[in-house]
Chain A
Amino acid sequence: MLDFGGLGAWLSNPENWAGRYGLWNLVAEHLCLTFLAIVIAAIVAVPIGVAIGHFGRGEFLVVGLGSFSRAIPTMGLLFALVLVMGIQFRELSVVLALSAIAFPPLLAGAYSGVTTIPAWIRDSATAQGMTTGQLVRHVELPLASASIIGGFRIAYIQVVSTVVLAPLVGLGGVGFGIIQGLALRNFPQVTASSLVIIVITVTGDRVIGLFQRLAGARLSPPTPLEKS
């Protein structure tokens, strides 16, 4: 069923890479929407997650939002936001809808990173005279960084694969090639676009995974020699 000849011909045709709806432009737009959505979500989610982990209050938010986000029909949210905010603000609507998807994993990553830090580490930091701010900045955030980056990783995968819906409300992204290709029955284009989405998804996941491992290897909490 997969037409490799047509796929190669489509991908090697420079016309399909250039222009407003060329692949380069669509990939850039795809990544840009993904990036903006994750950044906006992270600005809100990470501090809240760290605070919940630090103070040990409001854990229900993490669980509740996590489950709630799975129940959101993304496409419905996308159209609802575009209709409510107006088509002029469709970029913002799409980014906000995507942020809603990115929010729960970022919150969970930040929360679990902080909450799993052993109590004795915090106690020793406090014993050395660290203020709450110093404790968060110099102890909790570095130790939680691997888990926080893990949240970004999940958020990236979910958002980058949902941006595919953006052409439905008049934006670009690689989903354009799929939606247009299906209507034109241009299956090499559909396959090529799907392939590009897979490549940027897997590559991004690997790159973030690399940072996650680096953070985890350098800063994993040491275990106490003996527990009393």
Chain B
Amino acid sequence: MKLTRIAAVAASIGLTLGIAGCAPSAVPSREPIVIGSQAYYSNEIVAEAYALVLEDAGFAVERKFSLGQRDVYVPALVAGEIDLFPEYTGNLLQFFVPTATETAAEDVYAALATSLPEGLTALAMSPASDQDSYNVTQDFASANGVESIADLASLTDITLGGAPELAERPYGPAGLLAMYGVTVSFEATGDTTVESLVAGIVDMANVYSADPRIQQLGLVTLSDPLGLFLASNVVPIASEAVNADARALIDAVSAAMSAEDLVALNVRSVDEKLSAAVIAREWLVSEGLLD
């Protein structure tokens, strides 16, 4: 009885210490550039590309990939525990300024630059973007003659599928009604949004524009002439620990990455199941940024 109690106490102390040990240490020895990424395969490929060019130029790099979503890593970025992070202009702007009204790529970038917390800089944005978009199936598009979100105004009974949070987003059902006069009923399809669209459970779905499945399944991305969606270009967010030489290297990566490149990289990840490191390295070599 007594022995088991001692064992239990010892075990719980051990566990507590173990958990404490997992927390990031506060020791400010920060020589390597710490690069983070979201828990999103596409984001990890971009982060890996940054890491590879920096290592190639002789910088020490520490990878902290798959850090979940913004709520998790932005505080770490602000606190200086991460030095470099591939981000998306529109989504990050909306994170800091939920009421942001800018939608064009340049405007969003300019607004983001002024709303970042002290110590963080948005490096030059890339032409590659990965943003929210509304998609329908080829059958739906030809049956109803829709190419643009505006064409939906004459239709009734449209169901929109997307992640649960889409219900409350500015570009969700309320935005569709206010900007385009389109009435939709919302269906939270969660992680099965694309499957639900293909199966006909929803008529229109919110899919990221760089999602390979848009090409693979022949989905039709509706154009957005009035700018309902914020442009969301890939943009590296850097702390002051990233010096001018390093910034120049990252800028070259951003400039070389086109929107088509990003989709192609995602396709390789989804279809060929290659690791982010392999995909990023081969792309950098093909762009002449790495030997």
Interface of A toward B, CB cutoff 8 Å: 20-21, 79, 82, 86-88, 90, 167-170, 172, 176, 179-180, 182-186
Contact = CB atoms under 8 A, between A and B. Distances in A.
Contacts of B199: 86-88
Contacts of B165: 180, 183-184
Given A169-B192, A170-B189, 16 more contacts: A20-B185, A87-B195, A88-B199, A167-B164, A167-B188, A168-B190, A169-B190, A170-B161, A170-B188, A170-B193, A170-B201, A179-B190, A180-B164, A182-B71, A183-B165, A184-B165
B151 interface: no
Contacts, number: 55
B163 A176 contact: no
Contact of B164 (A82, A86, A176): A176
Given A87-B195, A88-B201, A182-B71, A170 B163 contact: no
A28 to B, nearest CB: 16
28 contacts: A20-B185, A20-B186, A21-B164, A21-B167, A21-B186, A21-B188, A87-B196, A88-B199, A88-B201, A90-B192, A167-B188, A169-B191, A170-B161, A170-B187, A170-B189, A170-B193, A170-B196, A172-B188, A176-B188, A179-B164, A179-B190, A180-B167, A180-B168, A180-B188, A183-B164, A183-B165, A184-B168, A185-B71
A163 to B, nearest CB: 14
Interface residues of B, number: 22
Tell me what chain A mostly uses at the interface: helix, strand, loop, or mixed.
helix
B78 to A, nearest CB: 15
Tell me what chain B mostly uses at the interface: helix, strand, loop, or mixed.
helix
Interface in B67-82: 69, 71
A183 B165 CA distance: 6
A179 B163 CA distance: 9
Contacts of B71: 182, 185
